[in-house]
Amino acid sequence: MEASPLTQQSRPETFTPKIVQLYETLFKAPEDVYVEPSEGFWREFFLLPPDRARLHSLLDGLSPDETLSLQTQTKHLFARAIREASSGAAPADSYALDTLTVFLTSILSKKYTNPSSDVITVLAGLDEVDHVISEFVAVLDGIVRNGSSLELRRKAIRVAIATTSGAYKTSLVSYFTHRDLFPSLMKYVNDSETPLEVFDPFLLIGLLANYNKFEFQNPYQLRLDDFVNEASIQKIVKGVGQACSGLRNGYVAVQDDIPEGWTLTNTLIFFGLRALAPGARDKANPPTAEEAKAMFADLPAQEAAILMATYDFAKSNKLFGYHLVHIIPEKNEESPFSSFLSLSSYLLQHAYRSPRVAHYAELSLFTLRILVEDPTLCKHICSEDGKRRVRLCRQRQPYLPLVNGDRVLATVIFDAMIDTITHNLRRRLDVNIYSHTIAITLRILTYLSTNKIRLTYHWSELWRTLLSLMRFLTTYATDLSSNPNIKTLTSSLADLMAFCVSAGDTFLPDPSSYDDLFYKLVETGPVISKFRDVYEFANGSRSAGSSGDPTSKDIHAAAIDTLLSVSTHFYTLLFQSDGKDPAAAVVASPKGDGEPTPVALPSIKKKNLSPREVHRIIKQGYDTLSIQPPEGLTTWSRWRETEWKSELKRAARCAVDDARQLVA
String of DSSP letters for 245-284: HHHHHHHHHHS--PPTTS-HHHHHHHTT-GGGSBTTBPPP
**pLDDT (0 to 100) of residue 357:** 96
- Per-residue pLDDT, averaged over 593-613, amounts to 47
Q: Ramachandran region of residue 548, left (φ > 0), alpha (ψ -120 to 50) or beta?
A: left
What's the pLDDT at 631?
Answer: 66
**pLDDT exceeds cutoff 50 at 540:** no
Res 78 pLDDT > 50: yes
For residue range 550-574, what is the model confidence (pLDDT) as tens digits? 566 667 777 888 888 777 777 677 6
Q: Which residues contact 24 (CB under 8 A, 6 or more apart)?
A: 58
Q: Which of 57-61, 182-186, 634-638 has the lowest mean pLDDT?
A: 634-638
Percent of the chain with pLDDT over 90: 61
| Confidence tier at 332 by pLDDT (50, 70, 90) | confident
- 522 vs 597, higher pLDDT: 522
Q: How far apart are CA 437 and CA 433, in angstroms?
A: 6
Among candidate residues 517, 552, 525, the one with its CA nearest the CA of residue 630: 552
- The burial of 191, by beta-carbon neighbours within 10 Å (0-12 exposed, 13-18 middle, 19 or more buried), is given as middle
CA dihedral 551, 554, 557, 563 (to 10 degrees): -100
Q: Does the pLDDT at position 435 exceed 90?
A: yes
Write down the H helix ranges in 476-510: 477-480, 486-503
pLDDT above 60 (res 581): no
Contacts for 217 with CB less than 8 Å, ≥ 6 apart: none
Cis peptide bond prior to 91, omega within 30° of 0: yes
The pLDDT assigned to 469 comes to 95
Q: Pseudo-torsion of CA 597, 602, 607, 609, nearest 10°?
A: -70
First to last CA, the chain: 59
State the pLDDT at residue 314.
96
- Rg of the chain in Å (alpha carbons): 30
Residue type, 180: D
Confidence band for 535, pLDDT divided at 50, 70 and 90: confident
Report pLDDT digits (tens) over 94-144: 999 999 999 999 999 999 999 899 999 999 988 899 999 999 999 999 999
Q: What's the pLDDT score for residue 280? A: 41
Burial class (CB in 10 A: 0-12, 13-18, 19+), 253: middle
Residue 301 has pLDDT above 70, yes or no: yes
Q: Is the pLDDT of residue 600 over 80?
A: no
* Residue, of 71 and 577, whose pLDDT is higher: 71
Range list of H helices, 124-181: 129-146, 150-166, 174-178
Rounded CA separation 140/119 (Å): 19
- At 39-75, the pLDDT tens digits run 999 999 999 999 999 999 999 999 999 999 999 999 9
CB within 8 A of 150, min separation 6: which ones? Answer: 188, 191, 192, 193, 197
**What pLDDT sits at residue 513?**
86
548 pLDDT exceeds 50? no
Helix (H, G, I), strand (E, B) or coil at 514: helix
Predicted confidence band of residue 611 (pLDDT cuts 50, 70, 90): low
CA distance 557 to 539: 6
Over the stretch 238-288, which tens digit does the pLDDT of each residue have?
Answer: 999 999 999 999 999 999 887 654 444 444 444 444 444 444 444 457 888
Q: Within 10 A of 370 (CB to CB), how many other CB atoms are there?
A: 19
- pLDDT the model gives residue 518: 81
**Residue 260 burial class via C-beta count within 10 angstroms: exposed 0-12, middle 13-18, buried 19 and up:** exposed
Q: How far apart are CA 44 and CA 22, in angstroms?
A: 9
Higher pLDDT, 436 or 514: 436
pLDDT tens digits for range 465-499: 999 999 999 999 998 988 889 999 999 998 999 89
pLDDT band at residue 11, thresholds of 50, 70 and 90? Answer: low
Residue 31 pLDDT class (50, 70, 90 cuts) = low
